Structure 1
């Protein structure tokens, strides 16, 4: 692609496409593989994110905190929580101190499924990075961290 652009428009510096294009392609491949890994569990990536955010954060969070962690609206989080609650994976418990609050926690079934799904996603991640040496992984991690920090400011 870079060579084609150089032939078509020699004045154009298309070199950023070497990184940005590959990041976009890799993200699409990774997302498709993760979706395939989650399919046997009947989970979308969003459902997986809710379950494992609860697991990682100690088991009980407010719907607002979950929505913030997932970078989605409270309405979208409510839809996810309704679906997960109907499957018996999470439960809403009234807060005695604040009757408006309904903290969310994992059920035992939700904890088991969250762990199994996480193992499947980590297997996909490991397979993706397997061609890289440990120093290459560290270098890419550092470079992507730098890019994300600059982009998110």
Structure 2
């Protein structure tokens, strides 16, 4: 090996980031399904709506990184469970805003707590979690540019 042996290669670091994200998402998916009966997408929808408020389905799909038909199926399931509702959009009556119900807000808090619990376990042994968080936020901003 040449150069600074403590600096990972961009390829290795990219692989590690993808793997860590995938493993965390899988852990969230498994526990959310087991504990709350939610899919990973349903969990994402609850968290997005809890932080951003009501949205139309295309905005919600974009925020969750899926297509509109996929988000529609997940929202339908959320409506059936009483976690989300559709309300006529005031600006464009042809559209419906998707919003959390009180039960949806409570479930979003439970999902947040689950993710925080998994993140604490994932960060075990990490010396500077604050620095890691700042770095990952910058990685996200960089990826959103392109």
Deviations 1:65-109 (A, max 9, x none): 211211221111111111111111111112355320111111111
For these two proteins, the number of residue pairs brought into alignment is 139
TM-score normalised per structure 1: 0.76
Deviates more, 1:70-79 or 1:15-24: 15-24
1: CA distance, partners of 2:65 / 2:27 = 22
Which ranges in structure 1 are unaligned for 5 or more consecutive residues? 4-13
Structure 1 match to 2:40: 45
Point out the structure with max Rg over C-alpha: 1
Structure 2 stretches of 5 or more lacking a match? 2-7
TM-score by length of structure 2 reads: 0.79
* Cα 1:91–1:146 shift into 2, 3 Å: closer
Instruction: Report the alpha carbon displacement of residue 54 of structure 1 after superposing the two structures with TM.
Output: 0.9
Matches within 5 A, 1:61-140: 61-133=55-127, 136-140=128-132
**CA RMSD across the alignment:** 2.4
Cα offset, 1:146, TM superposition: 4.4
